[in-house]
Structure 1
């Protein structure tokens, strides 16, 4: 049902909670497939949708063409994205905030319509990410090797330089681990962006106070070690507040990506294409629109993101 709703009412894609509540509302009406709309009138939908939305929904579903979308489909929302129907994307629409896991104090605060404390907010973030991280880090690790394979022959000088560095790190480590962990530097080189808006390596953990003052307020990784591949500790930070600490780079990068959604932040200027690629081809969140602040001449997916996605699949 989610795919059909987004196809007919693309504005719902901007609010996952509203999208899910709309799908649940239709299920309560026993509208389980597009043919069921034949027995629905505009008035039946006004409890959840506005008048224009209700009319658009009925008109589209009663059309002979009917957009050729199944109500239970988990297929890609954009044929142009090159994403296959592997079902991975469905978790985005089925996910619910785990309110039951929150402490009673936070529930009471929210009931009073008051602002939660920093500690309560941090706890909720932990609970939300806890469920998402059951899938995303593994998916990220798997895709990173495909990205390396797709870009290792790229003729761009900046990309070629990163490939040479990765090969040298593989020789030093005696394994192929850097091919995966260093791939985000490769993505930034390909998109001509700056990895320092996403993560940066530091040698001295005792300089934490100074580090927190110099990093951006957006989700960020403080990596302790000479390189990502040789990192000993990784700290996830957002708005200069430490959220997590781990030694797993893919886990940390997954946290950074999730925090952009949890805190409803736009992608940073020098990292937006890298994050959009992670969004669409690793997390499989392929919805209309973008979290980028940059105004594009033509709406839609960044063309370099699309090109690399197709190259990775081939």
Structure 2
């Protein structure tokens, strides 16, 4: 590619060095090599190392250069080295790191990672055929008189033309969809069987000396048991019962025993409960939920059959078939709709762009007063996908750019509406309820802590809430500033402080802003204690922070949840029990 650009290539030492290295690489990576060529390879390597030392005398050779000397001997022992190439394994590095961080496993991690990876490879190898085999067996069990060709035709119709991806989709099949393949009676028998929900496989196996048996049950009944689940209080320690009766905080040992008992009782109904099940039984308390989750993962370490799996959609070779559905990119920090993939019905990228321009015209003519129009509200809801595309663009747009493209997004009403669509949480309602329930107790708790000394906190640069009034408590108007400029003015006014707090908190999620180190404890307190959004990780990824005591930059301790927030929740729970 660049040989014709080299002047005097025969006299250019660097170019000759590159050519010699290319010869070495060609022989090393060759799928077949003769023993006579091995001697020639050894000579090339020696010449290359000598030329490298003379061409770059100031650069010492690295250990990797020394490895080249051993390649000829290795080829004589093992054959072409390309067949022993391990570079492909480098792609597994991120997978193993992610598993190691999320497994919470501290015993024989290598064995666990090897097992997880082997199961992943087996699952990927099976692909979609795994689930479709179950569907084929289900059809044969209901209609045993069908010949093989007819069964394959029905499975092909369900998979290719009707888009069935798994057993759950079978309940949506109608009689007219397969009427051209089966008789009316056969169609009705098959449809009734599909709607009974008996086609979804869920493996439940117990390990013993006797031959293992496999049972197939519908996952639709997976969460039904949660509604009728009863905590086995008769198995709890007497000291735990006394602490609860006296409204005291249980001892750590009693709490751990309670978690073990609850998990054992849960696993009698479902070997691997979902996060939704934990939240229901954990009553929304994040620390209890995490303990239940960790305990379930620990007891399920060796039970590979109880893990939840989803079929992987395989590629199709037909040009007229739509491409396989891809998982939407998610923020994984409490967001359920971070970047939707499907356009609203009847909409395209160009039509959403036209709607965006229409809203810009409304804003140019009437300003924020146009936000009261029903048409603007309708357009903002339809164009949510386009809003997320612009916000999530790379490089990240500034707030000023977003305000030009989506001026109504900086109206506090539409900002909160966008947050609700993004996270599924009605933030104002949730903050209002929690402040009404916990507000007085919070004030009493902090009033009791004043003797510990107060520190002046350095407010983060952005976002910040600006209160207009003599004091924070007497203010009745608020503004929001981001990136050093006011983005939500005091007119039209926010009705109360709860709305202002909701707008401030929502701006971090809507505009993909990380929590600043200086404010991470306060914001995570609002997120987990008041808004009750409890993901597994932290929204602050900073590695360093400024020490308040030493006044210098120090390495920041990172954890899935702020240790100060955990400490506060424990202290507040103890205060609540004793007050």
TM-score if structure 2 supplies the norm length?
A: 0.30
CA distance in 1, matches of 2:433, 2:283: 23
Counterpart among 408, 411, 414 of residue 123 in structure 1:
408
Q: Secondary structure at the match of 1:265?
A: coil
Tell me: higher relative CO, structure 1 or 2? Use CA pairs within 8 A at least 6 residues apart: 1
Counterpart among 262, 268, 276 of residue 524 in structure 2:
276
CA distance in 2, matches of 1:28, 1:243: 47
Counterpart among 165, 170, 190 of residue 29 in structure 1:
165
Which residue in 2 is equivalent to 1:81?
287
CA distance in 2, matches of 1:73, 1:193: 42
Q: Secondary structure at the match of 1:149?
A: helix
**Contact 1:137 1:254 (8 Å CA) reproduced:** yes
The answer on 1:141 being equivalent to 2:432 is yes
**Contact 1:193 1:271 (8 Å CA) reproduced:** no
Which residue in 1 is equivalent to 2:560?
300
Per-residue CA shift, 1:227-249, capped at 9, x if unaligned?
22211310111112323232421
Per-residue CA shift, 1:82-132, capped at 9, x if unaligned?
469xxxxxxx55456798798333859x69x89765322443454352254
Structure 2 unpaired stretches of 5+: 1-98, 103-130, 132-162, 169-196, 204-266, 291-333, 345-351, 358-382, 545-554
**Correspondences of 1:210-289 after superposition (within 5 Å):** 216=461, 218-244=462-488, 245=490, 246-289=494-537
Q: Secondary structure at the match of 2:518?
A: coil
Per-residue CA shift, 1:225-282, capped at 9, x if unaligned?
0122211310111112323232421111111111112222221222110101111121
Q: Secondary structure at the match of 2:487?
A: strand
**Correspondences of 1:78-117 after superposition (within 5 Å):** 81-82=287-288, 92-95=334-337, 103-105=355-357, 107=386
Which residue in 1 is equivalent to 2:75?
none
TM-score if structure 1 supplies the norm length?
A: 0.50
CA distance in 1, matches of 2:513, 2:426: 22
1:298 Cα deviation from its structure 2 partner: 5.8
Q: Secondary structure at the match of 2:466?
A: strand
CA RMSD of aligned residues (A): 4.8
With over 3 angstroms needed to count, the CA separation of the structure-2 counterparts of 1:282 and 1:10, relative to structure 1, is farther
CA distance in 1, matches of 2:564, 2:442: 13
1:305 Cα deviation from its structure 2 partner: 0.8
Which residue in 2 is equivalent to 1:69?
273
Structure 1's consecutive aligned runs of 4 or more residues displaced over 6 angstroms after TM superposition are 8-11, 64-67, 76-79, 96-102
With over 3 angstroms needed to count, the CA separation of the structure-2 counterparts of 1:296 and 1:235, relative to structure 1, is same
**Contact 1:82 1:310 (8 Å CA) reproduced:** no
The answer on 1:197 being equivalent to 2:459 is yes
CA distance in 1, matches of 2:417, 2:441: 30
Q: Secondary structure at the match of 1:223?
A: strand
Look at both structures and tell me which one has the larger radius of gyration over its CA atoms.
Answer: 2
With over 3 angstroms needed to count, the CA separation of the structure-2 counterparts of 1:143 and 1:302, relative to structure 1, is same
